[in-house]
Structure 1
Amino acid sequence: MTETPIHSFVTNDVDESIAIGSRLFNDHRVRPVHAHAAFSYSLTAARVGTIAFGRLRYGCEVSVDVAGTEDSYAVSVPSTGTIRFHGRGADAESTPELATIGGPVDRVSLSGWAADDESLAMIWFNRRALEADLGRLLGIDAPALIAFPRLLDLRDGRGAEWYAYATTMIDSVGRSGALAVNPLLASQVSSILSTGLLLAAEHQYRSALDAPPAPQAPATVRRAMHFIEDNVREPITVPDIAASVGSSVRALNRGFKEHLGTSPLAYLTRVRMEGAHRELLSGAPEDTSVSQIATSWGFYHFGRFAARYRELHGISPSEALRSSNPRR
């Protein structure tokens, strides 16, 4: 398995910091506001699937000019203080409670980082992938440019929920064995942050996302079930399942609820759990382990897997493996 590369850099050289940040995020220029300030740049970030996220610091007050780009959306949140943005013909101030959303062809200037411990959390989205995700949610072709507002309120509601997920993933970068940067979870991590942003922020498609979906035909649900069963060991997501049957995510969720009394994700988890159960009962303890079997079926949080397994079968996964028939 190829590990997700973690980008971790520290430099006191302004030009080097520009080269590093431009490679991972967007082209930009940096200038310390005060000539003799102690410039100290650090960046820890990762690319996971179609997104990138991390934290950067400058160590002193700087002015940053970000070039316009056709291929990305980005969310920025300072850890403390205020970052001032100018773009789209208007000024805005980002704080720990108000994230700034930048879009394609969005040339902006920003300044701040007066304290050496101030950092900026950044989540970068590939434009085509985010717009394709929106299309799959709505069951339409990839839509045109998403008109996000300049600011996203993180104080409560969906904005706060989304940023809680994002913060967990950003803070895991650089931590050994972190699930958020595990390649097997790349599509799920991308989906959580992308779909969450689409549901948390206001834009021209938000009312369509919030509207009740049309009923889903039983035949479509059956095809989705077959797709899940045929691909259960693959790192598939609910958008993948919906796309395989030509449905929107919302319509498929409603169809599963109406005809099966469950959700596509719950059904996928159930099929995986059944597969893990069969393998535990047929496996040999000297040849495999509970963690190997759980991971092979898409379960990476072993404590939750064990608790759910005991709830379903009345014994622990390790007990099931030990009770398996030895090879003859």
Structure 2
Amino acid sequence: MWHTYNLVCEGDRLRAATIRKVQQESATGSSTSSRVRTTITIQVEAVDFDTSACVLRVKGRNVAENQYIKMGAYHTVDLEPNRKYTLYKEHWDSVFLDRVETACDPAKHADLAAVVMQEGLAFVCLITSAMTIDRAKIDINIPKKGKADDTQRKKNIIRFYDTVMASIIRHINFDIVKAVILASPGFVKDQFFDYMLKTAVQTDNKLIMENKSKFLRVHSSSGFKHSLREVLDDSSVTARLADTKAAGETRALQNFMMMMSNDPDRAYYGIKHVERASEGMAIETLLVSDSLFRSKNVDERKRYVRLVDGVRDNGGDVKIFSSLHVSGEQLDQMTGVAALLRFPMPEIEEEDGDLDSDEE
């Protein structure tokens, strides 16, 4: 559905089955309303993606003859997983075609789950090849040591562990998920993991016992969701997830940050700087956020497609980041486009300096 959201644009035509409320008048003049199933073709005017329900709502005007819906009448089509649709575009550019190819390749759907936690707080997340989805937030007050009755503290900790374990069983499909990251500061993750295994043995929970090798314990600075970024940077996690798209993006962003620190003339961000580097055939890796391709400004979209095509034509590697991934969020904060260069181009900064002095 995330790929569909990135494919459907304003001005496209979408054909799909839908339900429409129809008013029918009888011979006596009384009217009755009923819901009918029909196939409609609309010209897209707005697209809204509900990530929690995994539903795409596409609004537009009817552009094909239909016995229930007048030409030009507004209608909203709900697209869901496994529901067929046909999409018509005036032009399928290289970024759109890549998106279709990626969506149709099952090898690119390697999935990962993460539980980021600290004492009393935990987030259960699913990390797909396209996005990071929050599945549960557990927040239970645990009194600090020495400030309360020790028995009450222990009871609250057990209640916290039981709730986290129940969320893992409920939200993580171990048939799909390759690994589950348990991340926390200190020993919280280890104490929880030991408790979970002990409980699984006592309650004969085969699901946890059979999948215990999928759990990967990693240090994080806090139990908040934003700590996922540093967790995905961890070398042990990267090695375990070497074949997932998320790891490739995280690694590319890591390399860019290192280059910014060590050799800034080989790392640039911002569309103007990156375009100049592309003109000089200098880009080794282009990092670009998919949010830029959802721009309603057609010329702006074409500009980024041209950049992607130019880098590929010159033998560069293009990584399109999902704006719903932690790495994509970080890239969006840096204008959404960045590049690692094959060789230094200090003249890019110098040209900017010359322009600034001219303006002064």
Would the TM-score normalized by the shorter structure come out above 0.5? no
Using structure 2 for the length normalisation, give the TM-score: 0.24
**Structure showing the higher strand proportion among its residues:** 2
Using structure 1 for the length normalisation, give the TM-score: 0.26
